[in-house]
Structure 1
Amino acid sequence: MVQTTSRSMHIATAKAIAGEAWTSEQAYETLRDLCDRFGHRFAGSDGEKAAASFMADRFRDAGLSNVHLEPFNYLGWVRGTERISVLEPFGAEVRSLALPYCPAGTLEAELVSVGDGEVDGYASAGATAGALKGKIVLSAAETAGRNGRPSSHRRDKYMRAVEAGAAAFLYVNQNPGDMPVTGGLEGGGVSQAPIPGLSLGFENGAFLLRLLDRGPVRLRIETRADFPPAMSSNVVAELPADPDSPFRDEIVIAGGHLDSHDIAPGALDNGAGVVVIAEAARILASIARERGRGFSRTIRFVLFGAEEIGLLGSYEYVAHHRETLGQVRFMLNLDTTGRGQAGSESVIVSGIPELVPWFQSLAGTLDYRMEIHDRFTSSSDHFPFAMAGVPSANVGTTETAASLMGLVGRGWGHTTADTFDKANPKGLQSASMVAAWTLFSVADAQDWPTGRREPAEVEAQLMASGMLEDLVASGRWPSAR
């Protein structure tokens, strides 16, 4: 049962949050400015830097405290040119898009399809027998999944190609419209990717598959890119706790990534999450002023830089704040939140099963339907916190605008179509309400049911999920604590 200082006060505050959320279009207006004024916000770009300053000002406008930027350095990537030429069975050009951290170079090799890029697809193509060594692998991007299981992440499909000795990796969007789907490769922020990785739109992927049906296909791939030193920043702001609260030294974090890819303004991924965080901050700050005090715990809002190339901002935050992680009771991640219909929010708890009934009780108390699941995942900014043992969850959207149109996987995400016109103002209002409800409820909870995980517990989860070996190899485990 969710308990704050009193049930009646909890309900009254929840109603005030709903009123603030549903009578303001601030989130929609902020998203319009974020997209139209700054363009893409790729890590280290002028757009990302300007957007960070802009959002810091929005936090200040909301009356938050300790607003500042925390910069960090890493190895950058600047897109050059890319070209794929068909050499056999006849000459042709195929439009493509190099994936971030794709190395520069030229190669020629035979093309082999691995289907949807899952383990069995690679096995059928002879990966274990060495049949993919020196070949160019053609894989489907995220699909609708099979047998109730989600599709593997892009990096998993890519690393299967690397481990099979492939010369290059081609990644085909499964949504029509000639939209190559981008996304970071292994090594982002640290080194060049092991082999070239490029994306194709659905139609060009279908063209290559038709050629394979006729016989052998040979391609030439040419890529150019620069890898300069780069800097990004996390944007941090706080709503201080009530100084008289017994939980005043504890912290609840709301975070999401500010950066986008370099081909679109990233309205849905993750501009929507950014403005939902800002709107939740505005709402909660307004309510704190009205009641004359903060909540029982400090709420810290963090917009992470450089997520799209490898969760760099959140890893940096966890490392930089390792001495105070013990004070963090919960981290709420908002990634692609508010990108669909109002009322379709979901909460995905990251490997903390005891939080599922707590959130179910919260939804019941507020008389608001939300899907609540427990799933240990690694592809967003909650994960560095989870590795450090901090309980975390992500607020997502079950009925996205793209899925309602029949698109699979990321829909418009990571493509040139991730633009402001896809945003739904009511979806942003609804998501802002849910985010503010959640943060208020955790910050004022008297019965928070979980605590920080011990390293052995986290390691067991990583091992069970098949992540441990890669994290050890990359130096990400053991985690900063």
Structure 2
Amino acid sequence: MKKLTTVSLKLILWLSLSIAATTQSAFAQDSALGLSAGSIEHAISLRDTAMQGSMAYDIVESLTTEVGPRLAGTEAEARARDWAVAKLSALGFENVRVEPFTIPGWERGTESAELLAPYPQPLSLTTLGGSVATPDAGIEADVVFFPTLTDLEAAAAGSLNGKIAFVSHAMQKTQNGSSYGFHGRLRRSGASIAASKGAIAILIRSIGTDSHRMPHTGSMRYDPEVKKIPAAALSNPDADQLERIHARGKTMRVSLNVQPTFTGESTTGNVIVDIRGTEAPEEVVIIGGHLDSWDLGTGAIDDGAGVAIATAAAKLILDNGRRPKRSIRLILWGAEEVGLLGGFAYLERHKKDLENQIIGTESDFGAGKIWQLNSQVSEEAQPLVNKMAELLAPIGIAPGSSDSPGAGPDLTPLVRAGMPSLRLNQDGNDYFDLHHTADDTLDKINPHDLDQNVAAFAVFAWLAADTDLRFKTD
């Protein structure tokens, strides 16, 4: 019995020393990364709690059901801001505020098109955001086919006088959406390029990857030196149809009638709330998503999901009681879809304290699981980013590039102005099936995928806010 007691005491002593050594090692690791004691364990706890179930799905369900589509500058977007203020206040956040700004208002009107010859049939299309209208009676003209935007650019000046240009290069699926930038130029700039050749309107193949008769809208811009012409996107099956007719050597004639309106100066705004830091509250780590959406669907994927992910991550940190050294700033951006106008307004308002915008990331690529972490930070802060990647590996997130600027669309103005960036890349293989279409609805969202996103955002926000390290490169 005496021998057993001695062994037991030795075992207890060994366990005590082992626990003490482990604890000391953990504290040393926290300290080396500029973190307060127990910060890494706290991040792990946040991750695991989120993976067991977050409130993200409930938040996006509330937004898309109670508000629905939220076109920038409209009464619907104003209701979304009111919803956000009420929701954040009800969740226990303090000092919820709106930073207002104004934008030029635009609203979609009636829209229709018909192939008149050689094979009469209706066409499925939608007006591009910011487009001018056709005359009230519409227009009727022959169509000139271009396989790519490059082919349109090569057309001679005057060669499209009185014609409708149709450009049909097709976007392909990628996990990270990397083809969007290239193909999106057609939507953004195609109208002015076509007008410079004499066209009276432009039709484009939708910038999307689905095979449904659901055209994709999106913002476009006019060259101020070129006459403005109407611009619309055909669904992918309708674009295929016109390609087949062109391949038969037939001349196509189309009638087009789109009646959008410009509504003058409209008020919008960014909804902002902070979880106040304990040591450097003036320094902020930004997370968020954008409140506005296009008007065809209910804005669940783009970007109700992002609003929900960032809000649920902030709520998780708020409820856990412990506060980081820096403040965590949740921004629900306004007017993203019409040119990142919320991001530019925020930069203009906060340019005097740009140095206090420590780092940020945004959720604005749907509701799929995060698969990769990319960043561009200082050499000093890279070990902390590596630790974030280590903590996120168990939930399926791999480390990516350590020299990849970008934190999400609304943060682009801040990143260009010098703010360090980190991006939690979601799986976007199916994102452009739904993007800017009537098919962007709540039923496309998997609640468990949202939970994984919340876990990643909580780990990032907590560790970035609780460290003394500087993320900005010299």
User: TM > 0.5 between the two?
Assistant: yes
1:28 aligns with 2:57: yes
2:242 aligned residue: 208
Question: What's the counterpart of residue 427 of structure 1?
Answer: 449
Q: Structure 1 pair 162/348, CA: closer, same or farther in 2 (3 Å)?
A: farther
- Which SS does the other structure have where 1:301 is aligned? strand
Structure 2 match to 1:93:
122
Name which of 315, 324, 342 aligns with 1:295. Answer: 324
2:263 matches 1:228: yes
1:345 equivalent in structure 2: 371
Q: Distance in 2 between matches of 1:187 and 1:23?
A: 48
Shift of 1:80: 0.9
TM-aligned CA deviation for residue 77 of structure 1: 0.8
Helix, strand or coil for the counterpart of 1:447? coil
- For residue 144 of structure 1, report the CA deviation from its aligned partner: 3.2
Q: CA–CA distance in 1 between the matches of 2:282 and 2:407?
A: 28
What is the rounded CA distance, in whole Å, between the counterparts of 1:151 and 1:270 in structure 2?
17
Aligned length: 428
1:254 aligns to 2:284 (yes or no)? no
- Quote how far apart the aligned CAs of 1:439 are: 0.8
Cα separation, 2, equivalents of 1:321 and 1:251: 12
Distance across 2 between alignment mates of 1:442 and 1:334: 16
Task: Give 5+ residue unaligned stretches, structure 2.
Answer: 1-28
- 1:330 and 2:365 equivalent? no
Amino acid at match of 2:353: T
Q: Distance in 2 between matches of 1:367 and 1:154?
A: 33
SS of match in other structure, 2:343: helix
Task: Supply the RMSD in Å over aligned alpha carbons.
Answer: 3.1
Report what 1:238 is aligned to: 274
Equivalence for 1:83? 112
Cα distance in 2 for residues equivalent to 1:49 and 1:432: 26
Shift of 1:378: 9.9
**2:92 alignment partner AA:** G
Question: 206, 221, 224: which one pairs with 1:186?
Answer: 221
1:171 equivalent to 2:171? Answer no
User: Which of the residues 143, 147, 171 maps onto 1:111?
Assistant: 143
- CA deviations 1:374-403 (Å, max 9, x no partner) are 4456981121111222122332312x5xx3
| C-alpha contact 1:359 1:372 (8 A) present in aligned 2 | no
Check whether the contact 1:442–1:448 (CA below 8 A) recurs between aligned residues.
no
1:372 pairs with 2:400: yes
**Is the CA contact (8 Å cut-off) linking 1:256 and 1:302 kept in structure 2?**
yes
Q: Does residue 1:284 correspond to 2:317, yes or no?
A: yes
Q: Tell me, in whole angstroms, the C-alpha distance in 1 between the residues paired with 2:424 and 2:459.
A: 12
Partner of 1:471: none
**CA separation of 1:193 and 1:258: change in aligned 2, threshold 3 A:** farther
Give the counterpart letter for 1:231 in structure 2: T
1:362 and 2:395 aligned? no
Residues 431 and 58 of structure 1, relative CA distance in 2, 3 Å threshold: same
Taking the TM superposition and a 5 Å limit, the aligned residue runs for 1:439-478 are: 439-451=461-473
| Residue 39 of structure 1: how far off its partner (Å) | 1.3
Contact 2:405–2:422 (8 Å) recurs in 1: no
Q: Residue 410 of structure 1 aligns to which amino acid in structure 2?
A: F
Distance 1:447 1:194, change over 3 A: same
Change (3 A) 1:6 1:135: closer
Partner in structure 1 of residue 338 of structure 2 = 309
Q: Whose radius of gyration is greater, 1 or 2?
A: 2
CA positional deviation for 1:420 = 0.7
Which residue of 297, 301, 304 maps to 1:268?
Answer: 301
Indicate conservation of the 8 Å contact 2:73/2:103, yes or no: no
* TM superposition shift of 1:152: 3.3
Identify the match of residue 432 of structure 2 among 398, 410, 414: 410
Q: Distance in 2 between matches of 1:78 and 1:64?
A: 33
The 3-state SS of whatever aligns with 1:14 is helix
What is the one-letter code of the residue matched to 2:217? T
Rounded to whole Å, the distance in 2 between the matches of 1:191 and 1:303 is 35
User: TM-score with structure 1 length normalisation?
Assistant: 0.80
2:416 match = 387
Which segment drifts farther, 256-265 or 317-326?
317-326
Q: CA deviation at 1:336?
A: 2.4
Whether the aligned pair in 2 keeps the contact of 1:4 and 1:10 (CA below 8 Å) is no
Conserved 8 A contact 1:145-1:151: no
Q: 2:155 aligns with which of 127, 135, 155?
A: 127
Q: 1:79 to 1:161 in 2, by over 3 A?
A: closer
Q: Report the alpha carbon displacement of residue 40 of structure 1 after superposing the two structures with TM.
A: 0.6
SS across alignment from 1:394: strand
Q: TM-score, normalised by structure 2?
A: 0.81
Decide whether the 8 Å contact of 2:407 with 2:421 is kept in 1.
no
Partner in structure 2 of residue 470 of structure 1: none
Partner of residue 233, structure 2: 199
Structure 2: how far apart are the matches of 1:302 and 1:157? 30
